[in-house]
Structure 1
Amino acid sequence: MAAADVRRMSLHCSICLNTYTDPVTLRCGHDFCQLCINRVLDSQEGSGRFTCPEPNCTKAFTKRPETNRNISLRKLVEGFLAREKAEVLCTYCIDSPVPAVKSCVLCESSLCGEHLKVHSKSANHLLIEPSTSLEKRKCFFHKKPLEYFCTEEAVCICDACRLDANHRGHQVESLGEASEKKQQKIRNELLKIITDVQEIDQQVKSLQKHRIKAQEKDKDVRERIIALFSDIRKQLDDLENRVLDEVSRQETIKSLPISDVIQKMEKQKNELSRKMHRIEKLCDTTDPLTVLQDTEDLYGTGDKHDNIQVHEQLLLDLHDPNETLITEMLNTGLFDIAKCANVSFYMQEPTDFSLDVDTAGKHLNISDDSKKVSRLPTIQYEDERPERFEYNQVLSKYKLSRGKIYWDFECSERAGWIIGMSYPSIERKGEQSELANNNKSWGLQRFYYQYSAVHDGKKTLLPHNITSDRLRIFLDYEAGQLSFYELCDPIQHLHTFTATFTEPLHAALSVYLVYQGETYLDSSVRIVTCEKLWKRSTKKTADSQKGVYEDTGKLKHNFPSKETLGKTP
């Protein structure tokens, strides 16, 4: 039996741990069930690398490896299973082993064809296919064949068990009937499992597909960054050479007059030296007539004052290079380089910060710059405009129907408010017009020191303790994501709504009047920053040396970087 166990284990798949079913071979030489290896390779799709699942195998493949049917192994498995089935021998053939054709559950013996002829034909002698585990088919207590299934106890019982107190009056079924019901049940479960597996496979393929796309995008960004910095380094080198050339040019221009002046002064020096020697000679002469008859002009020594002025001016020129021109060159060149980098990736388009006064509730006060909204106890607007809200809330003039935008808000700490986004088609009167109390608006609410994310009247309490009065809304219209952040250090994500937006979206603000005793607290919200993020594709024009760029692509949008999100004005 030990040898049979070894042979049986050698014919087991290392994935499912069962005997091979339709065995196939990889190029590394390891064998697996066809279904098992296909599932493993399917799970490795999209990773760019396939590996053999055999524990001790280090073989890897860049492409999905082919699987070849192992006909020899299949025949070996079939032969082994046939032999294993035929290993049930007749209990009564002692002299020579003879394969059994039937087994009797009552007698707990197996019989060959000859012994079966003389075996009792009584109904109590239940004959089954040859088996070596006959004891499992008999009742443990009564030692009779198991013929029924007790549905209440969910156990197989014999005829005697039906009369015992433990099973008397219980609903029982024949083994065949009960087996058929269970098989039908597990078949239904199998269908569900197959459906679940197919859904998981679809999800895995979808994730792998998106992962590949994300990797491609990351690769594209990486290549663009490398190209950008390479271009920046080249432009910096060019700028450095131009500025150094300008310094050399100035140096050359200043050196020319200095050489002329030095040559002139050397000539004056030689003339003065000659006169000095002539005067010394006359001073040493003892003959008065010789001294008096000398007609050479020895009294003029040149314009000393002019020489001093020229000397000082030249020294000034030497120590005062034209730094204004150099600074201008540096500023212009660096600005063009920075402009190139900015256009290549992110540009922020200034947007309209204004709140739409025509939509403001009657008790709201909009500041002169249309950026701050406050809640007052007195009525501020008497007119009945169709676009004016019944509740104390207001929309922004700016709306977004594509791309990405973020709004930064400064909110009063002690009062109540809602900041969020809304469709322009939101109701203006009635309960459905209240911000975030409908399916057309989303908001972050503060009410008596409690913060919630609210949409369609459903609140999600935020566990995070908000300590900053600066908050941010980030909207990615195409991705259908509306996120809220606390602008602290580091920036804290609060909540993200996911939806399929069907209309343009406005920033929406609502403030409550909160009393403390007989006085009311300051309830206000101010828009601090509103910026739209663009991504442009660019190319250099013929004036590239001047840093001029032109837009050549459609506007695309990108999520702000971590640094951008963490930046507060």
Structure 2
Amino acid sequence: MASANLRQEVDCSICLNIYTDPVTLRCGHNFCRVCIDCVLDTQEGSGVYTCPECRAECQDRPVLEKNRKLCNIAEHVRSIPQEETGIFCNYCVHSPVPAFKTCLKCEASLCDIHCKTHKKSAEHVLVDPTTSLKKRKCSVHKKILEYYCTEDAACICVYCSAGEHRSHRVEMLGEASEKKKEKLRNVLQKLTTKREETQKRVQSLQKRRRDNQEKAAGVTETVTALFRDIRRQLEDLEKRVLSEISSQELSVSLSVSDLIQQLEIKKDELSRKMSHIEELCNMSDPVTVLQEPDTGDLCDTEDRERHDDQVHGVGDLDVGLISGKLHTLSDIITGINVWVYVQEATDILLKVNTAGNYIHISGDRKTASRSHINQNRSETPERFQYNQVISTRRFSSGRHYWEMDVSKSVSWRVGMCYPSIDRRGDQSLIGYNNKSWCLDRNDNVYSVIHDSEVTQLPDNIPYDRMRICLDYEAGQMSFYSLCDPIRHLHTFTATFTEPLHAALCVWRGCIKISVENQEL
């Protein structure tokens, strides 16, 4: 019976089932959270909220506090098998049979067999088996709760509907329950949709986190490789510079040692002569002194000049040569820049409408070749007079780079220019105006050119593949030779006032824009 009594205390007075997520009002009564929420929703706008059981009123919507103890008890009761609830069929008197339903009209618990008779009459309201029949009856009239007052959100009996609820809108319990279930199903559908949307956002964020982790791992690997290469270059440079210093030091030391040896011999010779002269000076015989050959001026000017020339000829450490070798350090440091963070080369296509008539553009618009045949393109204000062409894409912000294969040409010019560059006359040549910057090769002479100012570069660097890097906001345009290791050639610094196009000029052979990526 203890189980039966416990079962009576865990039924919600609204849905008449075991509590689901029970919450407590200020008055102390407990309800399923969904049930009381729906009741309170119906009371919105009435200016007052009332408890469905005691009618306790409050002006503000009650705060629903979860009853954790009751929640645990309800879960425990829900897990008890039906035959253990202690509710048995009232008509099976000879042998107890677990109740299948409870008839509120008859106030009897029924097994499956006896339920069949009660189901035939609509007056017999069947519910889940319960011994708490008082909750199924009106607390005032002790009659079965058959109706639901929508205005007061309360279950009422027939006498209530004719009494205090006479002017209220009432519904049959089954009808009201179905409406509420429909509302709950709609709420459930909305919650399900929101949960799915939330799950999609979670999955999207998880993917973003994974992508970010992969990107970070890639950048970490690139930066690690960069610094590993820098350390190798610095170690190689250190070895070369230290070797040069040691070589110069040894050469100077050998020269100085040789000169010291010569001077030691000279010093011994002078010491002997000095001793002989001292002997002559100490002689008392004038004849012997006078018959001795004249020694002459042992410290004449010619001997001193020869000695000075020898000293100066020894030289010193060639700091200039050492500094020249250290210039590579500047190239290494300059090569450490933001381009490591540029993941992919920018796709460059050549704009045929700008190409001169003696330059051929391939079908994929990535190769420019010197042509000895006039292409007879229509004359437009965009077209260059000389063998030049610019890209379709223009850059007005951000960091970008593009690469090209120049191995099949010994005379070319690559760089970037403003769209307002002249298209005819010598002032239209890339590099020979203040609207373009370029790297130039003329046979084996390499230079960088801007505004007709030419700076010659070393000729001992492989120039088969080139890279041009642009940092528009920083005002930097850098040129690299993609040898092993990558060599920084030159960086132009300017304040860019217009968008920039990639530009190239071919006097012999061809240049191909490369789509391969090689990290700095």
Normalised TM-score (structure 2): 0.48
Rg larger for: 2
